[in-house]
Structures are given as C-alpha cells and as structure tokens.
Structure 1
Amino acid sequence: MTEPLKTVGITGTAYALPAREVPTADLQRRVATASGLMLPPRMFEQATGIRRRRIAADDEYASDLAIDAATKVLAETGRDPLDIDLLLFASATRDMAEPATAHVVQAALGSRAHVMDVTNACNSFLNGIDLARSMILAGRATRALVVTGETPTRAMRPRLDGLAQARSAFAGYTFGDAGAAVLVEPVATGGIVDIDSETHSEHWAAGGIFGGGSRHPRGDEHTYFTGDGHRLRRIFEQIGAGLIERVARRTGYGWDDYAKVLVHQVTLPYLDRFVQVTGVPRDKLEVTVTELGNMASASLGVQLARVRPQLETGDRVLLIGLGGGVSLMTMIWEVS
C-alpha cells in the first residue's frame, strides 16, 4: 500500500548577527578616505536607505554565523544534533572553495547528517529549503537543518579608482552580514503549500562576484562585487510581477490571505518600488534593510525568524526571493 504524501513544514527558525555595527556614514568616510574622493555627505545612505549594517569580525566566518543560528534553532525545537539526517549550507558565501562549508558547520554542531552546500546567489536559502522538502518527500531524509551564513561585506571594494569603478561597485555597499537557520520536517497540518520559480540565465553577467572559480581563480580584482544595480532592478521588475501574478492565479490567494509577505531586500528604494509595482500592503512587510542592509540569502531567513513570534497556527507567509543569475522564487508557508 502506498504511503500518503507527507506534508513538510518549517518547525523552527533562528538568526544570528555579528556584534559589530557600522553606520553607513562611517563606511562612506572610510571608502572616500582610501580613494581620495570627495563624496557628497550621506550619499551612500541617501541612495540606499541603509542607515547601518552588521559586519563580521576579521576572525568571524560564514560558518560561524550559520553555526550560531543553527545552535539557536536546535535549542528552540529541543532537537539534538544527532536528530538531523540532512544538513544543507545554503548560502551565496562560503568559507572556502573546498570542502563544502556544510562540513565545517556539522563538525561544530556534532551532527552526523548527509551534508552539502547549495549555492544560487541570494536565492540560496530558499533553494535549500525547497531541496530539503523535496528530499523528505522523496524519502531520502526525515529531518533537515538548512542554514546560511553570509559575509558579503568582504566583497565591498575598500577603495575606488574613479567614477567608472564606483558605478560598477556601488551595489556592493548595500551589503550586511548575517546568518539564519530553519528546521524542516514532516508536519500534521499546514507546512510549505506552494513553491514556484523562474530563471532567466541570459542575465547572469548583470552582477556578481566573478572570482574564485576557473575563470578568475586568483587575485583580488574579481573578489569584489561588480554589477549594474539599475539593470538588475529593471530585470526583476520586468519578470517578477508575472511570477507573483501566476502564484495568485494558481492558489487563489490575494494579499489579504497572507499574515506576512517577506521579500529579499537590497535597498529601501528597491523595496518601495516593489510595493508600488505589486500593490502589497506595506504593513505585511518586515523591513530589515534600513538597519541590516542587503544580507544576501540570509535576508529572508532573518525576516522569517523575526516575524515567527507574531504568527499563529494557520497563518500564511509568502516569501519572495530574488537572486543574481538571475532567478526568482516564491514559497508559501502555512504555520502548523
């Protein structure tokens, strides 16, 4: 007799932030001084809406932020590390090229799970949750820990060699560091009820950190974020609304059916434009970008952990991911 299809949900959430807080005004001063440039006062803050962000210490790594969040979520749910049989480090950042950073996290936690890294720019964490759900439904896992640790501030250029470089590097000054973790396992009710995605890989060169692979294996030049922020914004506007409309048609859910709508946040103007284009009520959002910056794939994980205490059984949350490459992703989670 065939077993009934399991419902898989998120049963625990947590996030972690570095202790060091850096005002955007201080960041701008450091870059201007190192570059020998005269920049208009508060230019970085006014262009991005980001007042401050957290930056990892020199001896603090992506894995440390993931381990912090993972330890919290295990404590919250009362799970032992040995209860986990799948551990995914799902992040745009990693500690090293090899081995997978998931091994570093597992060694610290003391778990013995099947581990791997999942990487897809700022959609990595959502992709990790989706993969964990899929493996549980396929019978390959029973309880998964999905973690991210993001230190994208290390991809910010410390100095600029003129205006042309400033334009291509500016999106990097939105970054902030953070970690997040979720426990994913079968649930009796609710759970992850819908997932959709759309990928337009012809835009892969619009922005990214192009070093560390076979194209640019060594040297600092390609280890900094380079891209056209305005072009990326136009791309997401052109293709994003269609995905959200498709989800609404398929599920029948409108904005009133969600307790919260969590969207990847790059800058405050981007978020304002998202509200304008989609019509989502602003009180459904959890705004983190002004105080924490663009946390790459940890952005949605941090938002989810922050809103979780406000949610009740049956509440629905729509998560909307945007990632370089480019990819978009939606996930609807109903609280069990």
Structure 2
Amino acid sequence: MHIDHADRTRRRAGITAVASCLPDREVTSQALQRRLIRSSGLPLPARAIERATGITSRRAAAAGEYASTLAVRAARTALDRAQIAPCDVDLLVFASATRDMAEPATAHIVQAELGSRAHALDVTNACNSFVNGIDTARAMILAGRAHRALVVTGETPSRAVRHDPATLDAFRESFAGYTFGDAGAAVVLEAVERGGILDVDTETHSEHWPVGGIMGGGSRHPRGDEHTYFRGDGSELREVFEKVGTSVLDRMRQRTGMEWGDFRHILVHQVTVPYLDRFVELTGVPRDRLVVTVPELGNMASATLGVQLDRVHAGLRSGDRVLFVGLGGGVSLMTIVWEKA
C-alpha cells in the first residue's frame, strides 16, 4: 500500500537529527559458538556460525542494560545534536521489536528518564518497527497533531537467544537468533519547507507470520521458557522475501522517477551476509550505495537502519537523498525516500 506520496509544493516532515548507541560488550561468533558447545555438547563444525552468516561479531547489552537504556542514550545524543531539550518534543515514539516489559509501554520508561512530557506511545512491527515509527511521527506532524517528534528504538534481541539447544534440530530452529546484535537509535522529526520525507510505501504479507518470532509473553503463551527464545527458519524466511519479490522497490522507482544512482546511500535491513548478497542480486542495488553493518554488528533488528543512518548522516549535504528499505517478520516490507534539507 502506498501511503500519501507528498508532491513537491507541500510542506513535509523531515529528519533533523540522528544518533545511535552500541553496547560496549562485544561477542564474537567464535565466542558464541564456544558457549553453545559448552552448554549443549553439540558437535558443531569449526566456525559454523561465522561461515554460515558472515557475521564475525555483534554487540550485547550488559546486565542492567535494557531496551530503554539503549534508546535513552541514543535519544540524548539526538536531542543534543538537534540543540533542543526534552521538553521541546511533543511526541515520543518508542519503535522496537524489543520492549522492557509487557506493560506499560516502554515509551513511558524512556520519557521518564529524559524528563519529557510528550505524548508517548510504542510502535511494534518486528524489524520494521523503527521505520514504522518514523512514518507514524511523520503522519502526526503532517496532521497537525505534533510539532516535533522523537522516535527512538532500543533493541536487545540477544536476550532471546537460546544458548543450550539440546539437539541439532533445536540448534537449527534457534539458528536465526545467533545473528542478533543489540543497539539503539533515535531521530528527531519536524516540519521542513524543503527536502524531508518525499515518499513512503509498504507491502504486507501476513499469511507468513508463523515463519519466525518470539512466541512468548502474549495471551497465547504468557509464561514458559520454551516460548521466550527466538524460533524460526532463516532459509524459509529468505524464501518468503524472494517470493514476495521486488515490487515495493519497483513501485517506488516508477512513482518517484528515481534510479539507484539518485540515492547517496541505500539503507537496507541486514540479517546475514549471504542474505545481503542475495538482496543485491535480486534488486540490482549497487553495492557501493549500501552501508554494510552486518559483519561486525549482526542483525540489530529494527535498530539496523538507524545505526546505518547515523554512520553516514554527518557526511550528507543538502539535497542528498537516502533510501530506507525495511524487511520485517510478519511479513512486511517498507521504503522511505528522505532528502536532507
């Protein structure tokens, strides 16, 4: 579904500050595999995780660090870069696949730490949560419901990794979780007279929702350790995305008239290196336009695009365009075209 393609004369919402946060603790794939072997006794081949995923390391939150912790750190940096105070924000969106607890919304925990009084809410849609949060804030600004928004994410998917699979089948079922890394990100959005978010598109294929996820914590499985781990078939998930195809990207290019070379950077959700290679093969996106983070940081869930944007934001000039490509379990795809003012 295409959402509200703004024409060039209309006032738009734009991103005016960006920040990210990485935990200090690094976990290499070799260290992760050694822990798995110690806990399970499984005879795993040498460097099995690294060779299968292309991931050499990832970050993991320490004890006492939560999704809100990473979100708050990123938020404070973003506010400093925007040269605004928490009280200058009238909408706070915590947009993440991870949360501190089932209730209340983690946005309130973030807000209490920051000292803001903004309208606060959570947005959750797997690895598309952060881009969905940006679009939610954009829509509320254009509707006149908010003047300035702070969209934050804190992802700690490493807490959902099974470190003691009892069998090879359990190891395979849990394997997608071994790609996970933790991170936080934040953006400030406000109305802009030029540039800003030019185009948004989404595509949803909910018939594939059982492919992967964390099944515990809701009304189906409110308790029970077996449901607290991420379970999924990475190959099946990749097959779903390949089956869905490139239609959302094709529509964006046709509608906007933009080609890959019109974007300074293309930010895409990254699960593994082979998965990213396949994305390039299917879409034709030039590799030199990508911001590659997965080998050193793993799959950071919805924080992935925020971390990538923070890495390149300081080098952007007025008029530079960035394409966000979100891929999330459920299954959903999303594109955002943003131009720096």
How many pairs align?
A: 333
Superposition map of 1:175-214 within 5 A: 175-214=180-219
* 1:89–1:148 CA contact under 8 A, matched in 2: yes
Q: Distance in 1 between matches of 2:189 and 2:269?
A: 20
* Equivalent AA in structure 2 for residue 190 of structure 1: G
* 1:5–1:137 CA contact under 8 A, matched in 2: no
2:241 corresponds in structure 1 to 236
* 1:264–1:322 CA contact under 8 A, matched in 2: yes
2:317 corresponds in structure 1 to 312
Please say if 1:58 is aligned against 2:44: no
Q: Which moves more between the two structures, 246-255 or 194-203?
A: 246-255
1:98 corresponds in structure 2 to 103
Please say if 1:333 is aligned against 2:338: yes
* Equivalent AA in structure 2 for residue 272 of structure 1: D
Q: Distance in 1 between matches of 2:68 and 2:24?
A: 15
Please say if 1:247 is aligned against 2:252: yes
Write the deviation string for residues 225-283 of structure 1: whole angstroms up to 9, x where unpaired. Answer: 00111111011112141111111111111101100000000000000111111111111
2:289 corresponds in structure 1 to 284
* 2:42–2:168 CA contact under 8 A, matched in 1: no
Q: Distance in 2 between matches of 1:18 and 1:272?
A: 27
Q: Distance in 1 between matches of 2:10 and 2:121?
A: 25
Write the deviation string for residues 22-50 of structure 1: whole angstroms up to 9, x where unpaired. Answer: 11100010011100111111100000000
**Please, which of 21, 25, 31 is the counterpart of residue 26 of structure 2?**
21
Give the C-alpha shift of residue 80 in structure 1: 0.6
* Equivalent AA in structure 2 for residue 172 of structure 1: G
State the superposition RMSD in angstroms: 0.8
Q: Distance in 1 between matches of 2:188 and 2:230?
A: 31
Q: Distance in 1 between matches of 2:27 and 2:299?
A: 14
Q: Distance in 2 between matches of 1:188 and 1:137?
A: 12
Q: Distance in 1 between matches of 2:40 and 2:69?
A: 31
**Please, which of 158, 162, 169 is the counterpart of residue 163 of structure 2?**
158
Give the C-alpha shift of residue 6 in structure 1: 2.5
Q: Secondary structure at the match of 1:15?
A: strand
Moved over 4 A (4+): none
* 2:260–2:285 CA contact under 8 A, matched in 1: yes
Q: Secondary structure at the match of 2:136?
A: helix
Change (3 A) 1:12 1:240: farther
* 1:240–1:328 CA contact under 8 A, matched in 2: no
**Please, which of 9, 12, 21 is the counterpart of residue 7 of structure 1?**
12
**Please, which of 150, 154, 178 is the counterpart of residue 149 of structure 1?**
154
TM-score under structure 2 length normalisation: 0.97
Please say if 1:260 is aligned against 2:269: no
**Please, which of 215, 220, 226 is the counterpart of residue 221 of structure 1?**
226
Q: Distance in 2 between matches of 1:114 and 1:105?
A: 12
* Equivalent AA in structure 2 for residue 138 of structure 1: A
Write the deviation string for residues 112-153 of structure 1: whole angstroms up to 9, x where unpaired. Answer: 000000000000000000000000111110000000000000
Name stretches of at least 5 consecutive residues in structure 1 with no aligned partner.
none
Q: Secondary structure at the match of 2:301?
A: coil
* 2:280–2:287 CA contact under 8 A, matched in 1: yes
Q: Secondary structure at the match of 1:286?
A: coil
Give the C-alpha shift of residue 5 in structure 1: 4.5
Give the C-alpha shift of residue 165 in structure 1: 1.1
Give the C-alpha shift of residue 158 in structure 1: 1.2
2:135 corresponds in structure 1 to 130
Give the C-alpha shift of residue 285 in structure 1: 0.4
Please say if 1:82 is aligned against 2:87: yes
1:302 corresponds in structure 2 to 307
2:78 corresponds in structure 1 to 73
Give the C-alpha shift of residue 69 in structure 1: 0.1
2:6 corresponds in structure 1 to none
Name stretches of at least 5 consecutive residues in structure 2 with no aligned partner.
1-8
* Equivalent AA in structure 1 for residue 24 of structure 2: A
